[in-house]
Amino acid sequence: MSRKPSILIVEDESGIADTLQYVLATDGFAPVWASTAEEAIRLFAAEPPALAVLDVGLPDLNGFELFRRLQALPGGSQVPMLFLTARSDEIDRVVGLELGADDYIAKPFSPRELVARVRTILRRSARPVVSATPAPVPPVNAPVVWLLDEERHQIRFYGKSLELSRYEYGVLRLLVQRPGRVFTRDELLLQVWGDDNDSFDRTVDAHIKTLRAKLKAVAPTLEPIRTLRGTGYALNEELPAAPA
């Protein structure tokens, strides 16, 4: 029998935490509750959970900052995380997704809905990324510009290792494997996020934006990812052998 997936709940309101623990336990998960960011970091460092639910408004640390710290812990970047926010604010949502969070839920929310989202996220993160067609051998000059290390989930750009979130890696991996091929937002959503309908086109755009910023830090004058207006994104095949 396999172990129940542990879900770390970081929430300072005990009423909400109690409800979440109850519904998650009823649904076959092993919930672990931390009421402060400090406690969450300690529990997470001792054993990374299968998924973490982070309240944005915590007494000792902002949930976004906690997310960054958890991601930096060993194994942290592999753990899907979902934000709970009191404000149904667009800003919170965009900040959360740009940081690389897997989803967010605005309070008040239905505990059942949260459990359904947790299931969806765990299902899609368990599924390997499947390309519609096998990746062709990259062009001879590709390794100079791009180096894809699938075992380490790392991509090097002009020799520089990129610090990528799980989804940024998933998107860039697809683009790098098929230079010049145009991927529509729907294709990227399907292949990187999975075929649940909780995600939306702006999720893709937000991740492309953060990816571009990271690539720009390496090669400020180049545009490695092309936008095909109204269509999608493609890797620029015309990159020079060395950054300008």
Contact residues for Ca ion, defined by CB under 5 A: 12, 55, 57
Give 12 or 39: the residue with its C-beta nearer to Ca ion. Answer: 12
Q: What distances in angstroms separate CA 48 from CA 7, 74, 102, 192, one per listed residue?
A: 9, 8, 16, 23
Query: Nearest approach, Cβ of 206 to Ca ion (angstroms)?
Result: 24
Query: Nearest approach, Cβ of 55 to Ca ion (angstroms)?
Result: 5
Give 103 or 168: the residue with its C-beta nearer to Ca ion. Answer: 103
**Cα–Cα distance measured from residue 219 to residue 222, given in angstroms and rounded to the nearest whole number:** 6
Q: How far is CA 199 from the centre of its chain?
A: 12
Query: Nearest approach, Cβ of 16 to Ca ion (angstroms)?
Result: 8
Residue number, nearest CB to Ca ion: 57
**Cα–Cα distance measured from residue 36 to residue 10, given in angstroms and rounded to the nearest whole number:** 7
Give 12 or 27: the residue with its C-beta nearer to Ca ion. Answer: 12
Nearest CA to 81 out of 170, 22, 8 is that of 8
Give 54 or 174: the residue with its C-beta nearer to Ca ion. Answer: 54
Give 55 or 102: the residue with its C-beta nearer to Ca ion. Answer: 55
- The encoded tokens of residue 68 equal 């960054």
Nearest CA to 130 out of 181, 100, 170 is that of 170
Query: Nearest approach, Cβ of 21 to Ca ion (angstroms)?
Result: 16
Nearest CA to 49 out of 37, 35, 32 is that of 32
Query: Nearest approach, Cβ of 87 to Ca ion (angstroms)?
Result: 11
